[in-house]
C-alpha cells in the first residue's frame, strides 16, 4: 500500500511539474505576441485551456501546478509573484470546478454529441471565465492599490510590483475584464478539445488513406496561403470566407483529432494577421483587432465542433440501428436474417475459390428443462455463454448466428467435414466444462448436440441447412451431447 501511495505521489508531482512548465512556456509565448501596454490580455491565453484539460483528465490534484505556474509566469511577465499567486488561486479554483462540472454533467471527452459541445461552451463562457476574469481583475486592483510608501517600506520588491502595470482605478475594470474573459475563454475553447482528443484512449482515428489525403490538403492550403495576398483587405476576407467551411469540412471528414489540429493552425494564421494588423484591421487599435480575431477563432472552433458532434451522433445512431437489424439482442451474434446474408456471400466466395465450406448446426440439450428448473434468466445466461464460446472458439472469417430459440448455426469457410467436426468437438468440450452460476447452490451445466454438413457443388444454403439439421437430430436420437456428420 505504501508503494502505491508513493507511486501515486510521484505521478501527481510529475503531472504538476509538467503542467507548471507548460503554463509558463505557453504563457510567455502568448504574452510576447499580444500584450499591449501591460494590461490587454492575450487573444488566446492557452495556459487556461491546458489547465482545464488537465483538471478534466486528472482531477483536482493538478491545482498546485496551476497556482505555481501562474506565479512563475507573473514573476517573468505578469503583475508580480504576489499577484500571480492570487490569480493562480482563482484559475486553479475555476479549473477544478470545470473538471468537476465536466464529469458531473456526463460530458464526453470525444465531443460526440451536440449536447457535449453546447454544455462545454456554456460552462466556459458563462461559469468558468467570469470567475477567472473577476478574480484576476480583483487581484490587479489589489496590487495597484498598494501605496508606494508601503511598497517602499516592504522593499519595493519584485514580488509586489512586477512588469505588468496594475489597475490603479476602477475606470479600467470593464475593458480589462472583457479582454481577460475573451482571452481565457478562447484559450479553453481551443486547447481543451485538442488535448482531450489526443489524450483520450479510443478516440476515432482517420484511416491511413485519409491521413495521406489530409496531408495533401494541408500542403495545398499552405501553398495557397503563401500565394494569397492576404495582407490586403480582399485577401484577408477571402481567407476568412474559405476558412470557416474548410474547418467544418475537415471535422466532418477526418474526425475530432484532425479538426482540433486544423483549428490550431487556423488560429496561428488569424492571430498573426491580427497582431500585425493585416487586411481590414489595419486601422484598428490592438484591443479591437484582438476582439475580431477572438470572435473568428471562437466561432470557427465551436462551428467545427458542433458539426462534428452532429455527424458523430448520426454515425452512432446508424451503427446502433445496423446492430439492431443484424444482431441478436440477447446473444449479440448474428440474427437469422443477417446470418443467411453472410452465409450466402461466404458460399459464393467458396465456390469461386474452389475451397470447401461446412456448416455446423447445434441445439442445446434439454433447454426447456433448464428454463423450468432454473428460470428463464438462467436460460438466457446459458445462451449468452454458448454464443460467447462460439465466438471465442472459431477462426476469423467463420460466421456464427442464432437462428432459433436455442439453435445456433456456424458456417466454416475453407473447412471440410473433418475440420468442422474437430472445431465442433473443441466447442462441445468447452461448453460442457462450463459451470454457470444461476442463483442456485448447484452450478448450471449444459451440453449440445450438433450436425455437420459439407457443401456439395450443387448445394445452396437451404440444402446445407436441411442436411445439417437431419444430422443434428440423428445426434439427439443417439443420446445427445454428441456430433453427427451428414451423409455426402
Give me the residue spans of the domains in the chain. Answer: 1-203, 207-285+296-326, 336-485
Displacement of CA 33 from its chain's centroid (Å): 31
In contact, 27 and 45? CB cutoff 8 Å: yes
For 404, counting Cβ atoms within 10 Å of its Cβ (0-12 exposed, 13-18 middle, 19+ buried), the class is exposed
In contact, 167 and 28? CB cutoff 8 Å: no
In contact, 27 and 77? CB cutoff 8 Å: yes
User: Among positive and negative, which fits the CA dihedral 266, 272, 275, 280?
Assistant: negative
pLDDT given at position 457: 76
Any residues with CB less than 8 A from the CB of 290 and at least 6 apart, and which? 34, 40, 42, 43, 179, 182, 183, 274
Cell of 373: 428448473
pLDDT given at position 203: 58
**CATH among 1.20.1070, 1.20.1440, 1.10.1760, 1.10.287 for 1-203:** 1.10.1760
pLDDT given at position 308: 85
Taken as a whole, the chain contains a residue count of 488
Any residues with CB less than 8 A from the CB of 74 and at least 6 apart, and which? 80, 81, 83, 84, 85, 87, 88, 162, 164
Cell of 466: 436441411
Identify any residues that bridge with 434 across adjacent strands, giving them in sequence order.
Answer: none
pLDDT of the chain, 488 residues: tens digit per residue? 466 776 667 888 999 999 999 998 988 887 776 544 344 455 688 999 999 999 999 999 999 999 999 888 877 766 567 777 888 899 999 999 999 999 999 999 989 899 999 999 999 999 999 999 999 888 877 776 655 544 444 444 444 444 445 566 677 778 778 888 888 999 999 999 999 988 887 655 555 555 555 566 665 555 555 555 545 555 555 665 666 566 666 666 677 887 888 788 778 777 777 767 666 666 777 667 777 778 888 888 888 888 888 888 888 888 888 888 889 989 999 999 999 998 888 888 888 888 899 999 999 999 998 888 888 888 999 999 999 999 998 888 888 999 988 999 999 998 999 999 999 999 999 999 988 886 665 678 899 999 999 988 777 888 899 999 999 999 999 999 999 998 77
Cell of 186: 478562447
Instruction: Assign 3-class secondary structure to the chain.
Output: CHHHHHHHHHHHHHHHHHHHHHHHHHHHHHHHHHCCCCCCCCCCCHHHHHHHHHHHHHCHHHHHHHHHHHHHHHHHHCCCHHHHHHHHHHHHHHHHHHHHHHHHCCCCCCCCCHHHHHHHHHHHHHHHHHHHHHHHHHHHHHHHCCCHHHHHHCCCCCCCCCCCCCCCCHHHHHHHHHHHHHHHHHHHHHHHHHHHHHHCCCCCCCCHHHHHHHHHHHHHHHHHHHHCCCCCHHHHHHHHHHHHHHHHHHHHHHCHHHHHHHHHHHHHHHHHHHHHCCHHHCCCCHHHHHHHHHHHHHHHHHHHHHHHHHHHHHHHHHHHHHHHHHECCCCCCECHHHHHHHHHHHHHHHHHHCCCEEEEEEEECCHHHHHHHHCHHHHHHHHHHHHHHHHHHCCCCCEEEECCCCEEEEEEECCCHHHHHHHHHHHHHHHHCCCECCCCCCCECCCEEEEEEECCCCCCHHHHHHHHHHHHHHHHHCCCCCEEECCC
pLDDT given at position 324: 83
Calculate ∠ Cα 414-418-421, nearest 5°.
Answer: 100
Q: Which CATH superfamily is domain 336-485 in?
A: Reverse transcriptase/Diguanylate cyclase domain (3.30.70.270)
pLDDT given at position 35: 46
Cell of 252: 466532418
In contact, 308 and 263? CB cutoff 8 Å: no
Amino acid at each position: 500500500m505504501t508503494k502505491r501511495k508513493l507511486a501515486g505521489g510521484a505521478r501527481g508531482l510529475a503531472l504538476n511539474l509538467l503542467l507548471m512548465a507548460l503554463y509558463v512556456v505557453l504563457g510567455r509565448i502568448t504574452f510576447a505576441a499580444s500584450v499591449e501596454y501591460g494590461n490587454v490580455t492575450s487573444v488566446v491565453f492557452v495556459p487556461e485551456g491546458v489547465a482545464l484539460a488537465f483538471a478534466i483528465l486528472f482531477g483536482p490534484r493538478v491545482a498546485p501546478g496551476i497556482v505555481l505556474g501562474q506565479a512563475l509566469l507573473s514573476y517573468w511577465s505578469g503583475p508580480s509573484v504576489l499577484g500571480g499567486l492570487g490569480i493562480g488561486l482563482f484559475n486553479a479554483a475555476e479549473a477544478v470546478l470545470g473538471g468537476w462540472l465536466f464529469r458531473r454533467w456526463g460530458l464526453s471527452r470525444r465531443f460526440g454529441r451536440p449536447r457535449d459541445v453546447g454544455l462545454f461552451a456554456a460552462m466556459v463562457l458563462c461559469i468558468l471565465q467570469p470567475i477567472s476574469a473577476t478574480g484576476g481583475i480583483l487581484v490587479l486592483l489589489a496590487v495597484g492599490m498598494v501605496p508606494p510608501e508601503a511598497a517602499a517600506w516592504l522593499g519595493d520588491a519584485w514580488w509586489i510590483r512586477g512588469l505588468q502595470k496594475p489597475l490603479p482605478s476602477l475606470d479600467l475594470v470593464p475593458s480589462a475584464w472583457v479582454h481577460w474573459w475573451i482571452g481565457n475563454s478562447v484559450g479553453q475553447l481551443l486547447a481543451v478539445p485538442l488535448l482531450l482528443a489526443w489524450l483520450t484512449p479510443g478516440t476515432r482515428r482517420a484511416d491511413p488513406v485519409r491521413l495521406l489525403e489530409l496531408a495533401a490538403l494541408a500542403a495545398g492550403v499552405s501553398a495557397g496561403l503563401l500565394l494569397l495576398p492576404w495582407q490586403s483587405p480582399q485577401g484577408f476576407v477571402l481567407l476568412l470566407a474559405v476558412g470557416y467551411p474548410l474547418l467544418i469540412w475537415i471535422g466532418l471528414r477526418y474526425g475530432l483529432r484532425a479538426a482540433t489540429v486544423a483549428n490550431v493552425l487556423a488560429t496561428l494564421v488569424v492571430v498573426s494577421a491580427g497582431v500585425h494588423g493585416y487586411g481590414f484591421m489595419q486601422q484598428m487599435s490592438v484591443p479591437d483587432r484582438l476582439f475580431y480575431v477572438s470572435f473568428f477563432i471562437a466561432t470557427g472552433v465551436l462551428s467545427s465542433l458542433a458539426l462534428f458532434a452532429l455527424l458523430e451522433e448520426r454515425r452512432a445512431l446508424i451503427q446502433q440501428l445496423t446492430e439492431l437489424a443484424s444482431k441478436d439482442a440477447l446473444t449479440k451474434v448474428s440474427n437469422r436474417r443477417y446470418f443467411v446474408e453472410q452465409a450466402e456471400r461466404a458460399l459464393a466466395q467458396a465456390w469461386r475459390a474452389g475451397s470447401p465450406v461446412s456448416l455446423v448446426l447445434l441445439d442445446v440439450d434439454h433447454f426447456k428443462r433448464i428454463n423450468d428448473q432454473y428460470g428463464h434468466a438462467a436460460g438466457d445466461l446459458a445462451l449468452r455463454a454458448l454464443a460467447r464460446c462460439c465466438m471465442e472458439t472459431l477462426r476469423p472469417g467463420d460466421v456464427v448466428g442464432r437462428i432459433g430459440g436455442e439453435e445456433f448455426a456456424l458456417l466454416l469457410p475453407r473447412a471440410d467435414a473433418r475440420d468442422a467436426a474437430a472445431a465442433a468437438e473443441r466447442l462441445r468440450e468447452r461448453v460442457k466444462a462450463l459451470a454457470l452460476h444461476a442463483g442456485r447452490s448447484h452450478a448450471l451445466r449444459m451440453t449440445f448436440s450438433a450436425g455437420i454438413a459439407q457443401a456439395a457443388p450443387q448445394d445452396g444454403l437451404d440444402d446445407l441447412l436441411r442436411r445439417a439439421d437431419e444430422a443434428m437430430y440423428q445426434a439427439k436420437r443417439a443420446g445427445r451431447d454428441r456430433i453427427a456428420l451428414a451423409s455426402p
